[in-house]
Amino acid sequence: MNANITYPHIARMFYAEPLALELQAMMTIHTWLWPRTTGQIVDAAGLQPMNAAKSANSVQLGGFNAHRRRTFAMPSTDGFGSVTDDRYYWSVEGREDIAVIPISGMIMKGASSFEESCFGAVSTERIGHALQQAVSAKEVRHIVLDISSPGGRVTGVKELGEKIAAATQVRGKTVSAFTEELVASAAYWLASQADQILTTSSGSLGSIGTYLAFFNESVAMQTKGIKLEVFRQGKHKALGLPGMDLTQEDRQYLQDGVNKINAQFVAAVRAGRGKVSEEAVTDAKVYDGPGAIAQGLADGLVSSWEEFISLL
């Protein structure tokens, strides 16, 4: 994959669109991505560091990985690549009434297989397809969202959240969200639409908020003797072009977009979590399991995945 094609595409999504992404995850990606998008590092092999951000296991795990759950929603295949089971969700052994949908990695609408496997992304369409299959399956009574995600792009999250909320209204079905790791920002938007959220004591939940990170390269370009001149029609045309300063009107336009999306985020959380605290929806904090329960972000604590499953 040519880095000169891939990096600007990713940078446009990361730096020029509103995000609902936990801050530490954002800074981790920025530290890796920024030197490449600005030409400080041109390295096609540099895709490897992000690969560690996600462990995408596409089949039921066994052998040395028998202690780990699947973290990727996709059909099962045989050793030759032929599909043996077209379900994107997986079932707990002996419990065909449970459909588990993994949501692991940074959430992105339209994420390609390359972005999912190499950049730790998970597509909203992939999750939505698995959800629809689980809703349609007559034997499934419990749909489980097994989440480990810092959030991601907001595009597509509102619509997926609405599908999760609709699934909770299907007769004979319940939707539960579970985490023993991280459910932050856009991932919490999705979790909040479930019937219940359970976590372990060391799980982390919250980060309800939205932001847009705009990195202005104009000073760096000037020190290199580069001056940008733009000829345009349209008040905000070329906004975000490298080396172009923001006007006050540009800043207000971007802030209005962030405010609008965040209002949708908070409204969805309040609708799904009737007892959520004002602090949780305004301070963008991340809470551990007991703290999340105190703030109305979760319903209960379990000691493990096995205990959680036993309660269904």
Q: In sequence order, what DSSP letters do the residues of 92-104 get, joined into one string?
A: ETTEEEEEEEEEE
Name the band, by pLDDT with cuts 50, 70 and 90, for residue 38: low
Distance between CA 293 and CA 295 in Å, rounded? 5
Q: What phi and psi, each to the nearest 5 degrees, are found at residue 133? A: -60, -45
pLDDT digits (tens, 9 = 90+) for 237-266: 888 788 788 889 999 999 999 999 999 999
Give the pLDDT of residue 208: 98
Which CATH number does 3-212+249-310 carry? 3.90.226.10
HSE-up of 105 (CA within 13 Å, CB side)?
29
Residue 47 confidence (pLDDT) above 50: no
Could you tell me where the beta strands, DSSP code E, fall in 62-150? 76-77, 83-85, 90-92, 95-104, 106-108, 121-123, 142-148
Q: What phi and psi, each to the nearest 5 degrees, are found at residue 19? A: -125, 145
Give the pLDDT of residue 39: 62
Name the band, by pLDDT with cuts 50, 70 and 90, for residue 1: very low
Give the pLDDT of residue 40: 63
Give the pLDDT of residue 84: 83
Per-position b or e across 3-19, b if 16+ CB within 10 A of its CB: beebbeebbebbbeebb
Distance between CA 295 and CA 280 in Å, rounded? 6
Q: Which two tokens stand for residue 306?
A: 């096995």
Distance between CA 135 and CA 141 in Å, rounded? 9
State the average pLDDT over residues 201-227: 88
Give the pLDDT of residue 18: 77
pLDDT digits (tens, 9 = 90+) for 84-136: 888 999 999 899 999 999 999 999 998 888 888 877 899 999 999 999 999 99
Could you tell me where the beta strands, DSSP code E, fall in the chain? 19-21, 76-77, 83-85, 90-92, 95-104, 106-108, 121-123, 142-148, 151-153, 174-179, 182-184, 196-199, 204-206, 286-288, 300-301
CA angle at residue 264 from 185 to 181, to 5 degrees? 15
Return the number of other C-beta atoms located less than 10 Å from residue 157's C-beta: 25
Cα-Cα end-to-end distance for the chain: 44
Give the pLDDT of residue 8: 57
Q: Which two tokens stand for residue 159?
A: 């619509």
Give the pLDDT of residue 75: 83
State the average pLDDT over residues 175-180: 98
Tell me the residue type at 128.
G
Strand partners, 153: 19
Per-domain residue ranges of the chain = 3-212+249-310
Name the band, by pLDDT with cuts 50, 70 and 90, for residue 222: confident
